[in-house]
């Protein structure tokens, strides 16, 4: 179990919590899924989730305020997309060093506004405070038709595994920045998946409304880590085909040498695409709705608990969770 | 307008927001009140609010993890009490330095658990991350009977102004800590209002259910600052009687010399009592429910916009907002 998961488990054992079991009390999944689902009345369900965006952890101090604003809301909204919820409202808690200029705030707000309009979500409240580094916490609320929220835990042996978008594109953008190459004109557009991730909000809702996925989550920490979480939640295993992964092309540049598309796809964080599983009998329905979307079949759910990677030569090896971890040293 | 209020105003002008006006869309007060009120169905209303607790801003690194856990949830829950809502759920976003010991986390969780049981609120989700200092963001959700949420904006000239609890007790606790006196046995119990603030959750609900207050908010930044906000929200003024304020006794200690009970009561932050206004015809009802509560009549709402302090000798002076400000230098 990774340190993050064990910390969450410890906290939920220590603090009165509502966890994965069903509750009579109007709360469904609770701690550990992408979002908690509340049922304030028999006729409505709400997904709620909260996410930090912290300077030094989630973004570097040199990033444009516009991208920080956009991505803070996008990262949190990704958890709603992963439940199949329609984003409605958000709260912004923002703490800034006292000397932060007004220009920074306006650019931050411009980026966040664009995200809010794109996701059709509205700011309803928040908190403003002072801190030594930029500290952002966004809480998002979304609406789901009763009973249609897609949890992480529903995958069954034989289900097919899919991902949306390309895998590793955001990590490649980060590597370009870390390599000091972000000002190279030819590489500029490769930064976008890292700075302005696309969130498949409409697709998440469509999949949930049609009840196609048996399990769904967003890929925030990398496929290997997030697939391990999905499998653990369902008590299953998985087999992934390396040749099927929608990898990205790494530009030829000496500073990017050693960065392998396969490693990026398996372990690169922050793509914010959807990872979902589909029972074989529903694959035809999926094809019907997925015509304009990049959806890739990458493997199958097994009895488990092993998660295996099948290489193009037929060799099979265990796939370890090596994605992003908040507590990696 | 204080820097915090102007930042909030700027953000809500820049980001698509739902502010103080009524909305058809299922959101009532929105940005600027203690909590946003959502109406997910015609039969239920939910108050939601989010609050930072940041090391160096809201607590010092030497504070016990137990008090940090307790107070993080208490501070956020205070915004629900101020709307008259019943606390139901909360989300915890917690970022820690990587080396923080497990003992710290367990004590933090123990304090937060006690608060959760006291407020009858359950953890439903959150986020765990890494940061250079302890960073906490708590989002709380509470339930309110439809139409009974008490906003800040309803005060009318002639309404009587009340506060609950003592004023300045939390600030006195902080002054004792800042003065290096926290280990003096005779002063120990005076730290409690600062480290473990009482939140009048039940009283807030009772007041709202009986529809007694015309306006209500919590006193988080000090009476002078919060009363100015309540008056600004209602477009009114106020007159406060210094002799009526429920002040605290400052212990005789040379290091506390110069700390005046009146200044503590007017400008001391973090008492988390309720500040509310009552139309004259409802004062008898208030007396009926307030027998076991410390509720003090401290003044009256005027046409305004001035906020005046009447001294015991009859002299009247303007009362400036000198409470806690996140951006005070």
Q: What is the pLDDT of residue B324?
A: 78
Put simply, the answer to whether B124 touches A36 (Cβ < 8 Å) is yes
Interface test with A, best of B4, B48, B124, B134 (most A CBs within 10 A): B124
By DSSP bridging, strand A160-164 and strand A295-302 are: antiparallel
Interface test with B, best of A108, A127, A327 (most B CBs within 10 A): A127
Q: Does A91 touch chain B (CB under 8 A)?
A: yes
Put simply, the answer to whether A52 touches B93 (Cβ < 8 Å) is yes
Higher confidence at residue A310 or residue A253?
A310
Q: If you average pLDDT over residues B303-328, what whole number do you get?
A: 88
∠ CA A29-A30-A33 to the nearest 5 degrees?
Answer: 75
Q: Give the separation between CA B37 and CA B28, rounded to whole angstroms.
A: 5
Question: For residue B12, how many C-alpha atoms fall within 13 Å in the half-sphere facing its CB?
Answer: 22
Tell me whether 0.95 is exceeded by the ipTM.
no
Look at residue B84 and tell me whether its pLDDT is greater than 90. yes
By DSSP bridging, strand A122-130 and strand A86-96 are: parallel
- Taking only the tens place, the pLDDT of each residue in A73-128 is 999 999 999 999 999 989 999 999 988 888 898 899 999 999 999 999 988 888 88
Q: Does B118 touch chain A (CB under 8 A)?
A: no
Question: Which residues 22-41 of A are in CB contact (within 8 Å) with B?
Answer: 25, 27, 30-31, 33, 35-36, 38, 40-41
Query: Of the candidates A90, A83, A72, A203, which has an alpha carbon nearest to the alpha carbon of residue A141?
Result: A90
Q: Does B43 touch chain A (CB under 8 A)?
A: yes
- Taking only the tens place, the pLDDT of each residue in B150-196 is 988 899 999 999 999 999 999 999 999 999 998 998 898 999 999 99
Alpha carbon A108 to its chain centroid, in Å, reads 21
Question: Which residues 244-283 of B are in CB contact (within 8 Å) with A?
Answer: none
* B169 to chain A, closest Cα gap in Å: 23
Interface test with B, best of A99, A117, A125, A128 (most B CBs within 10 A): A125
Shortest CA distance from B95: residue in chain A: A52
Q: Give the separation between CA A214 and CA A232, rounded to whole angstroms.
A: 14
- Taking only the tens place, the pLDDT of each residue in A207-253 is 999 999 999 999 999 999 999 999 998 999 999 999 999 999 999 98
Q: If you average pLDDT over residues B17-21, what whole number do you get?
A: 55
Spatial contact of B268 and B194, defined as CB atoms under 8 Å apart: no
* CB nearest to B54's CB, from A27, A58, A95: A95
- Taking only the tens place, the pLDDT of each residue in A185-197 is 899 899 999 999 9
Collapse the DSSP code of A251 into the 3-class scheme (helix H, G, I; strand E, B; otherwise coil) and give the result.
Answer: coil
Both tokens assigned to B265: 């009561």
Put simply, the answer to whether B52 touches A329 (Cβ < 8 Å) is no
Q: How many residues does this entry show for chain A?
A: 329
Q: Does B214 touch chain A (CB under 8 A)?
A: no
Q: Give the separation between CA B3 and CA A57, rounded to whole angstroms.
A: 27
Q: What is the pLDDT of residue A329?
A: 41
Worst-scoring range by mean pLDDT, A282-291, A303-312, B18-27, B48-57? Answer: B18-27
Residue with tokens 């997309």: A81
Put simply, the answer to whether A124 touches B58 (Cβ < 8 Å) is no
Both tokens assigned to B244: 């009526």
Across the strands, what pairs with A17? B123
A/B interface, count of CB pairs below 8 Å: 235
CA distances from A267 to A37, A79, A173 (A): 28, 19, 14
Q: What is the pLDDT of residue B265?
A: 97
Worst-scoring range by mean pLDDT, A255-264, B29-38, B66-75, B219-228? Answer: B29-38
Q: What is the pLDDT of residue A101?
A: 81
Q: What is the pLDDT of residue A21?
A: 43
**B126 contacts on A by Cβ (under 8 Å):** 8, 11, 31, 50
* CB nearest to B327's CB, from A36, A57, A98: A98
Higher confidence at residue B106 or residue A10?
B106
Q: Does A17 touch chain B (CB under 8 A)?
A: yes
The DSSP letter of residue B221 is S
Q: Does A320 touch chain B (CB under 8 A)?
A: no
Q: If you average pLDDT over residues A145-163, what whole number do you get?
A: 92
Q: What is the pLDDT of residue B8?
A: 72
Put simply, the answer to whether B41 touches A40 (Cβ < 8 Å) is yes
Shortest CA distance from A28: residue in chain B: B124
CA distances from A99 to A96, A121, A127, B329 (A): 8, 30, 18, 10
Look at residue B230 and tell me whether its pLDDT is greater than 70. yes
Q: Does B140 touch chain A (CB under 8 A)?
A: no
Q: What is the pLDDT of residue B24?
A: 43
CA distances from A44 to A22, A36, A217, B44, B45 (A): 16, 14, 21, 10, 12
* CB nearest to B116's CB, from A15, A92, A128: A15
Look at residue B300 and tell me whether its pLDDT is greater than 90. yes
Percentage of chain A exceeding pLDDT 90: 64
- Taking only the tens place, the pLDDT of each residue in A12-49 is 777 777 654 444 445 555 555 666 777 677 777 888 99
**A17 contacts on B by Cβ (under 8 Å):** 122-124
Spatial contact of B166 and B294, defined as CB atoms under 8 Å apart: yes
Residue with tokens 């880590």: A225
**A27 contacts on B by Cβ (under 8 Å):** 89, 122, 124
Shortest CA distance from A133: residue in chain B: B132
- Taking only the tens place, the pLDDT of each residue in B40-61 is 777 778 889 999 999 988 998 8
Put simply, the answer to whether A124 touches B40 (Cβ < 8 Å) is no
Interface test with A, best of B10, B15, B325 (most A CBs within 10 A): B15
């Amino acid at each position: 179990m990774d340190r993050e998961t064990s910390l969450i488990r410890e906290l939920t054992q220590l603090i009165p919590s509502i966890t994965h079991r069903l509750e009579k009390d109007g709360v469904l999944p609770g701690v550990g899924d992408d979002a908690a689902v509340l049922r304030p009345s028999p006729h409505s369900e709400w997904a709620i989730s909260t996410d930090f965006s912290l300077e030094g952890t989630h973004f570097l101090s040199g990033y444009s305020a516009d991208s920080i604003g956009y991505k803070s809301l996008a990262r949190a909204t990704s958890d709603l997309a992963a439940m199949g919820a329609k984003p409605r409202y958000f709260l912004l808690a923002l703490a800034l060093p006292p000397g932060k200029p007004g220009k920074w705030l306006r650019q931050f707000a411009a980026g966040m506004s664009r995200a809010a309009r794109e996701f059709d979500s509205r700011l309803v409240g928040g908190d403003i405070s002072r801190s030594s580094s930029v500290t952002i916490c966004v809480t998002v609320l979304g609406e789901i038709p009763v009973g249609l929220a897609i949890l992480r835990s529903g995958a069954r042996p034989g289900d097919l595994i899919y991902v949306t978008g390309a895998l590793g594109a955001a990590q490649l953008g980060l590597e370009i920045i870390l390599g000091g190459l972000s000002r190279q004109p030819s590489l500029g557009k490769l930064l976008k998946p890292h700075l302005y991730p696309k969130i498949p909000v409409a697709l998440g809702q469509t999949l949930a409304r049609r009840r196609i996925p048996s399990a769904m989550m967003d890929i925030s920490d990398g496929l290997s880590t997030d697939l391990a979480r999905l499998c653990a939640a369902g008590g299953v295993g998985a087999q992934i085909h390396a040749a099927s992964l929608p990898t990205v092309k790494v530009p030829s540049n000496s500073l990017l040498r050693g960065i392998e598309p396969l490693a990026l796809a398996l372990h690169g964080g922050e793509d914010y695409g959807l990872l979902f599983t589909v029972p074989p009998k529903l694959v035809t329905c999926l094809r019907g709705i997925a015509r304009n979307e990049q959806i890739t079949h990458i493997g199958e759910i097994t009895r488990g608990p092993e998660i295996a990677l099948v290489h193009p030569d037929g060799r099979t090896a265990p796939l370890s969770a090596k994605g992003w971890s908040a507590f990696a040293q």
